Amino acid sequence: MAPERETQETLSNLLREDRRFEPPADLAAAANVTAEAYEEAARDRLGFWERAAERLTWAQRWDTTLDWQPPFAKWFVNGKLNVAYNCVDRHVEAGNGDKVAYHWEGEPGDSRTITYADLQKEVSKAANALTELGVGKGDRVAIYMPMIPELPVSLLACARIGAIHSVVFGGFSATALRSRIDDADAKLVITADGGYRRGAPSALKPTVDEAVKDCESVEHVLVVRRTGQDVEQNERDVWWHDVVERQSDQHTPEPHDAEDPLYILYTSGTTGKPKGILHTTGGYLTQASWTHHAVFDLKPETDIYWCTADIGWVTGHSYIVYGPLANGATSVIYEGTPDTPHRGRFWEIVQKYKVTILYTAPTAIRTFMKWGDDIPAKFDMSSLRVLGSVGEPINPEAYVWYRQHIGAGRTPVVDTWWQTETGAIMISPLPGITAAKPGAAMQPLPGIVADVIDDQAQSVPNGGGGFLVVREPWPSMLRTIWGDDQRYIDTYWSRFDGFYFPGDGAKKDEDGDLWLLGRVDDVMLVSGHNISTTEVESALVSHPKVAEAAVVGATDPVTTQAIVSFVILRGAADEGADIAKELRDHVAKTLGPIAKPRQILIVPELPKTRSGKIMRRLLRDVAENRSIGDVTTLADSSVMNLIAEKLPSAA
């Protein structure tokens, strides 16, 4: 830390960060998108999105670009297209049938190479099978699968026939799966016997059996054989290899309306009934594909692109399936966990396939930091040219580590802010244009009008903080919550009249660049100051001994809330008696004394959701000495016991 940093800096100067990373000259010179795109979109926003839509192949052009009846939007009205045709067939027709769509890598080391021509056949067969199973346009199909090639094939088969898929992440329980099947009234469930996780087959079919028991809407369960585990054969079950394999590999895609539903995806919300986020066809594919082209500077002829997310999350929908395939990309899909069979598995995959673009999450990056720099150093990763991050605010130190140890200090890192609801990236640097600041999502993409406002809905000046909002509709926005328009209005459009409110806090720095500060529910009130958990966490992670940190506000009789920090130390760091004092002083020095944590607890793990987000609610229970609340959305429920054991006053 620079000694001139004043400890009494006001909180509006939190996260002052003076490191900048200019785009590499060669990347900038050949970038897909130049600074003109911002000007073009500012001059004629709808015209900009029309040109983005023209990157797709339409069976019938739209007549109105945007029909906006707040808060209900229709994009590319009366346009007709088939998403699967755009993602698959058109590349084959253009002579790229032999091009690899997916390099698939199974966890046990098996692999498959799937070209666009292969994909066309597989998707056609699956579409024919769905039709035979009685699934038609508008019907809902629940998909509960491991990360195997049949997963994207299933999504595309649904899209092809106009059935609405609802992918449920394979880590969810039978109860969670059942509630999602019921909410969408799904007719078919597609699953597998199991998948490989952490070096062993992990069963999925028994969870489906339990979920669909006495469930009347489900007519069939279509089962892929992946692990060869024994499965119970129920009356409604059919094997993929029996039903799909014998189908014709020819299928004529029918055009669908731009506003026909494409999919429902339930948000993992920590409270309340899950929300079925509804995405439609034309606008969604337009923005998923344009952002993938722009934010990753994708060159389909030469890039090997790898997004490490699970297709069960929106990141996988938009940036493993729809965006990359619409762009004719070659992608890697990996089935398993990053530490199987060893902690260098990701880097081994980068080396093996010569991955050029890598898109992953801060939670993974912090884990790799914890495992140590020596692990990635063993692999040749010189192919990498763009790195991306998504899912949570990325702490500046994690950003710098990622750029340095994965990107050899050469690669731009794009911190992409978006949500299940936004469907595609909204705020991000562009790798050939932006001089990026570590930890900042920087600027709304061309065509996106986002702002930070105060509680009176006034735009805050540079240097100010408040609520992130989106001021204008965008093509891939959610259209509603499935079956519940009122909840859609209440959740996203009621807090600030006329603006979309994503629920995140943000700050504009002196240059007007945007810093995301986490969910507004996670903002703490300490002696009259609003302090974001993200900022204190980033200050902690900037200490060389800290790998990960989670911060919560605990009720305090004097200060309203007091800052309590849970810290995981880096691999080799020694706890030492004074570590807590050292870290408290470090935060005070970095952010100001007001942000000094009351308490620092060194813990072995942090509670996270299955998508890797820290569950601060549970840590607040610990910090306030309450019994721990609902842990059903935790990825690993034993973590809370590990934490409780480490506490002075075990909760």
What does the binding site for ligand WT7 look like in residue numbers (CB under 6 A)?
Answer: 267-268, 313-315, 390-393, 415-420, 441, 502-504, 516, 518-519, 611
CB of 167 to ligand WT7, least distance (A): 13
Distance CA 305, CA 289 (A): 14
Identify the H or E element spanning 619: helix 616-623
- Please, which residue, 420 or 542, has the CB nearer to ligand WT7? 420
Q: Flag whether 466 is marked binding.
A: no
CB of 314 to ligand WT7, least distance (A): 5
Distance CA 189, CA 258 (A): 25
Distance CA 640, CA 476 (A): 37
Q: Are 628 and 618 in contact (CB under 8 A)?
A: yes
- Please, which residue, 340 or 419, has the CB nearer to ligand WT7? 419
- Two tokens, residue 319: 């940036």
- Please, which residue, 118 or 310, has the CB nearer to ligand WT7? 310
Q: Which residues contact residue 450 at a Cβ distance below 8 angstroms, ignoring those fewer than 6 apart?
A: 426, 427, 444, 468, 469, 470, 471, 514
- Please, which residue, 162 or 362, has the CB nearer to ligand WT7? 362
Identify the H or E element spanning 50: helix 45-53
User: Under the phi-then-psi rule, with left for phi > 0, alpha for psi from -120 to 50, and beta for the rest, what region is 483?
Assistant: left
Q: Flag whether 60 is marked binding.
A: no
CB of 418 to ligand WT7, least distance (A): 4
Q: Flag whether 541 is marked binding.
A: yes
Q: Flag whether 242 is marked binding.
A: no
Q: Which residues contact residue 638 at a Cβ distance below 8 angstroms, ignoring those fewer than 6 apart?
A: none
Q: Flag whether 250 is marked binding.
A: no
- Please, which residue, 350 or 441, has the CB nearer to ligand WT7? 441
Q: Flag whether 392 is marked binding.
A: yes
Q: Flag whether 61 is marked binding.
A: no
CB of 478 to ligand WT7, least distance (A): 10
- Please, which residue, 127 or 453, has the CB nearer to ligand WT7? 453
Q: Flag whether 198 is marked binding.
A: yes
- Two tokens, residue 89: 């067939």
CB of 421 to ligand WT7, least distance (A): 6
Q: Are 425 and 439 in contact (CB under 8 A)?
A: no
Q: Flag whether 200 is marked binding.
A: yes
Distance CA 447, CA 46 (A): 8
CB of 315 to ligand WT7, least distance (A): 4
- Two tokens, residue 334: 């990996």
Strands (E), 521-591: 523-526, 529-532, 546-556, 560-569
CB of 513 to ligand WT7, least distance (A): 13
| HEC assignment per residue over 115-158 | EHHHHHHHHHHHHHHHHHCCCCCCCEEEEECCCCCHHHHHHHHH
- Please, which residue, 120 or 611, has the CB nearer to ligand WT7? 611
Q: Flag whether 197 is marked binding.
A: yes
- Please, which residue, 217 or 419, has the CB nearer to ligand WT7? 419
Q: Flag whether 351 is marked binding.
A: no
CB of 361 to ligand WT7, least distance (A): 8
Q: Are 260 and 76 in contact (CB under 8 A)?
A: no
- Two tokens, residue 94: 């253009």
Q: Which residues contact residue 588 at a Cβ distance below 8 angstroms, ignoring those fewer than 6 apart?
A: 7, 595, 596
Q: Are 96 and 68 in contact (CB under 8 A)?
A: no
- Please, which residue, 91 or 437, has the CB nearer to ligand WT7? 437
Distance CA 187, CA 218 (A): 4
Q: Flag whether 178 is marked binding.
A: no
Q: Flag whether 519 is marked binding.
A: yes
User: Phi, psi at residue 314, to the nearest 5°?
Assistant: -65, -30
Going by the DSSP 8-state scheme, the letter that residue 444 receives in this structure is B
CB of 434 to ligand WT7, least distance (A): 14
- Please, which residue, 106 or 338, has the CB nearer to ligand WT7? 338
CB of 506 to ligand WT7, least distance (A): 9
Binding site for ATP, by residue number, is 391-393, 415-420, 504, 519
Binding site for Mg(2+), by residue number, is 541, 543, 546
Binding site for CoA, by residue number, is 197-200, 315, 527
Binding site, by residue number, is 197-200, 315, 391-393, 415-420, 504, 519, 527, 541, 543, 546
